[in-house]
């Protein structure tokens, strides 16, 4: 299957700082990327959907000014957690599809964010 | 948006027995239903999917059934093996242009040797 690479895999940051997470599709063009948040022993919660070259669509309850998403190219999307706080500590995971309806989504390996 | 419910949250079976996980969804427009397996600390991996024009799909020991009228779909694993132990997520997608996946709450499957 296609490969999606997410970086970094782990990051620890101080409260009040911002953290950027990258999601790259290595061998296909990802017209759509998704960002999820996963709490321990919980399901994946869809945060936002991003299409290349356009603004991300955020799910209800997700603060777009806090979780900045950029999808500047067909192979890269970034999630920036701004002014991070301890409650933002979580596992963030991206997925990407090559486009079209009902196509398989490939997941990155996830980023464990810890805000201290 | 779509609301997906999944049961049970935990499931233990003896090796060789079958495991069944059930999901329901709320949006009748959903037309794509993948199942993902997530091992501890790893990314979710697609194991099987089904589209709304199909009622059942099988791949070796794994099968998925879909009932669009009742808006539920199920994962069936037969002849379970210890390596099947993982968390399984169902998902539903409207599959229009965005292809957003809405996940169920997950089922932690333990296969006892």
Q: Tell whether B1 is within 8 A of chain A (Cβ).
A: yes
Contact A46 B49 (CB under 8 A): no
Please report which confidence band the pLDDT of residue A102 belongs to, taking 50, 70 and 90 as the band edges: low
Q: Do the Cβ atoms of A110 and B108 come within 8 Å?
A: no
> Cβ of A97 and B99 within 8 Å?
yes
| Cβ neighbours for B69, distance < 8 A, ≥ 6 positions apart | none
Joined together, the tokens standing for residue B86 give 């993982």
Name the nearest CA neighbour of A32 among A79, A90, A99: A99
Q: Read off the pLDDT of each residue in A48-68 and give the average, rounded to a whole number.
A: 90
pLDDT at position A32 is: 87
pLDDT of chain B, 113 residues: tens digit per residue: 788 999 999 999 999 999 999 999 999 888 889 999 999 878 899 999 998 888 999 999 999 999 999 999 999 999 999 999 999 999 998 765 556 788 999 999 999 99
pLDDT at B99: 64
Residue A86, SS3 per DSSP: helix
Residue B24: name the closest of B45, B51, B3, B50 by CA.
B3
Residues in chain A within 8 Å Cβ distance of B46: 1, 104-105
pLDDT confidence of residue A47: 94
Give the tens place of pLDDT for each residue, A14-51.
Answer: 999 999 999 999 988 888 899 999 987 778 899 998 88
């Amino acid at each position: 299957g296609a490969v999606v690479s997410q970086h970094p895999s782990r990051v620890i940051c101080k409260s009040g700082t911002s953290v950027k997470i990258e999601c790259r599709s290595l061998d296909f063009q990802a017209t759509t990327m998704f960002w999820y948040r996963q709490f321990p022993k919980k399901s994946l919660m869809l945060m936002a959907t991003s299409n290349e070259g356009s603004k991300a669509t955020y799910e209800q309850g997700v603060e777009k000014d806090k979780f900045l998403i950029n999808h500047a190219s067909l192979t890269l999307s970034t999630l920036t957690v701004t002014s991070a706080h301890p409650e933002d500590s979580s596992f963030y995971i991206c997925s990407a599809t090559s486009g079209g309806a009902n196509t398989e989504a490939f997941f990155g390996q996830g980023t464990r964010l810890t805000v201290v | 948006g779509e609301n997906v419910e999944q049961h049970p949250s935990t499931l233990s079976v003896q090796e060789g027995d079958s495991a069944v996980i059930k999901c329901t969804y709320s949006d009748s427009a959903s037309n794509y239903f993948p199942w993902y397996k997530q091992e501890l600390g790893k990314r979710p991996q697609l194991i099987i999917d089904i589209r709304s024009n199909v009622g059942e799909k099988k791949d070796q020991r794994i099968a998925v059934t879909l009932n669009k009228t009742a808006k539920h779909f199920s994962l069936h694993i037969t002849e379970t093996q210890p390596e099947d132990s993982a968390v399984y997520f169902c998902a539903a997608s409207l599959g229009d242009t965005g292809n957003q996946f809405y996940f169920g709450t997950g089922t932690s499957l333990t296969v006892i040797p």
